[in-house]
Amino acid sequence: MTARTVRFKQVDVFTPVPFKGNALAVVFDADALDDAQMQSIARWTNLSETTFVVAPTDPAADYRVRIFTTGGELPFAGHPTLGTAHALLDSGYRPKTPGRLVQQCGVGLVELAEQRDGGWAFSAPPARVAPLPPSQYDALAAALRTDAIDFSAAPTAVNNGAPWLVVRMQSAAACLALAPDTQALASIVHAAGAHGVAAYGPHPAGGPATFEVRCLMVGDSFGVGEDPVTGSANAAIAGLLTQQQRRPGPRYTARQGTAIGRDGRIRVEYDDDAGKTWIGGESVTVFDGTCRLP
């Protein structure tokens, strides 16, 4: 009996250099797979996310994607969005509109655009925001084991399909120095309706990027540990910078993954005329082949 196989790629996202970004497994031709099979594959790859490309149900979409962590399905996530688009194009797919893609996923339709300087960017989906009560500030500082939180920008829970508690640090160095009490942090994060902390701090002028970013996960569907490079969290930060009137300009860059030996690079651009915030970066294919199914 011939084994059933589907096309498979493993790509590295937010980097042009293999092993320096955030890995993503992409399974094509996944329409015949049920939820349990998708979850089983995602657990086996043991990556932060695995995506499954299926036929769209909305005629405006180029494709539909389902995004699974090792613990469950997400309605949206940033690095899987960019990584799936890269894998699809790398497989030979041609967009309905040159230089544009429309992804259908749990939050609806997400627009992607080819960037002039390489890679692709997605338009950040709408988000719900909820500032952390000031009564929680001391507990947050204690849980993060730091006295360098910039409370002039209120820590805020932001949910754009992936819920993060965004915390601004006084500097990139303070962000890199974080060594939190995970159990105490989990209590605060979960009470805020989030699954992790997206901490960021500004680099000095002339630094490697505008901001340093770290995403500290505390369970639930995100898992536990530090995410190498995170599109949804960077989208949350970009949106909050607008709301808090802290934008560094019409575009900026972020570096993420430094604390765990990665070198992810994110490009953010505001298009106020169109009312869009673009979160972009480069991706590279690392493994290309087939996945054997049971």
Residue 294 makes CB contacts below 8 A (sequence gap 6+) with none
Q: Is the dihedral of CA 148, 153, 157, 162 positive or negative?
A: negative
CB 247 within 8 A of CB 270: yes
Strand, helix or coil for residue 134: helix
> Which of these, 174, 151, 57, lies nearest to 105 by C-alpha position?
57
Give the containing element (helix H, strand E) for 90: helix 78-90
Length of the chain: 294
Q: Which of 49, 73, 212, 226 is catalytic?
A: 49
> Which of these, 46, 48, 14, lies nearest to 258 by C-alpha position?
14
Task: Pick left, alpha or beta for residue 208 (phi over 0 → left; psi -120 to 50 → alpha; otherwise beta).
Answer: alpha
CA 153 to chain CA mean position, Å: 22
- Cα end-to-end distance, the chain, whole Å: 12
49 is catalytic: yes
Looking at the annotation, which residues are catalytic? 49
